[in-house]
């Protein structure tokens, strides 16, 4: 079982460049999430989706856009990257918002903006 797959695993961007991070899950989960992890900051929710075609803002949405055109995919876009967006990005999914068993996370994308 692949679970949650994130691509790419590593990326270096120059300030002002754009990119899209892809998250794919094969568990037929309805809910998907994008988090960022920064040293000493824990995991912070960027955007999330409660189903195909839906998106919503999380705690730190500024500078990011998302799309959920297909149930299995959740894309995170950076239109004009900034050094403050250097972080490790984690995608997660869950069957419902009642997370008795929690979220399933991907292995992360390490992004550096120079």
Partner 1 sequence: DQQVKQNSPSLSVQEGRISILNCDYTNSMFDYFLWYKKYPAEGPTFLISISSIKDKNEDGRFTVFLNKSAKHLSLHIVPSQPGDSAVYFCAASARFASQGGSEKLVFGKGTKLTVNP
Question: Quick check: bond before 8 cis, omega within 30?
Answer: yes
Site string for partner 1, 61-100 (x = CB under 8 A): -----------------------------x-x----xxxx
Q: Which is nearer to partner 1, 38 or 79 (CB)?
A: 38
Is 14 an interacting residue with respect to partner 1 (CB under 8 A)?
no
- CA-CA-CA-CA torsion sign (21, 91, 97, 46): negative
| Minimum distance, C-beta of residue 80 to partner 1, in the bound complex (Å) | 27
Whether the Cβ atoms of residue 48 and residue 36 lie closer than 8 Å to each other: no
């Amino acid at each position: 079982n692949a679970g949650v797959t994130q691509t790419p695993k590593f990326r270096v961007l120059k300030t002002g460049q754009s990119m899209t991070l892809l998250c794919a899950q094969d568990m037929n989960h309805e809910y998907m999430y994008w988090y960022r992890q920064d040293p000493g900051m824990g995991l912070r929710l960027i955007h999330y989706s409660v189903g195909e075609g839906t998106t919503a803002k999380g705690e730190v949405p500024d500078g990011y856009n998302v799309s959920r055109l297909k149930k299995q995919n959740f894309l995170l876009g950076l239109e004009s990257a900034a050094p403050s967006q250097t972080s490790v990005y984690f995608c997660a999914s869950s069957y419902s918002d009642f997370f008795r068993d929690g979220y399933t996370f991907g292995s992360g994308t390490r992004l550096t903006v120079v």
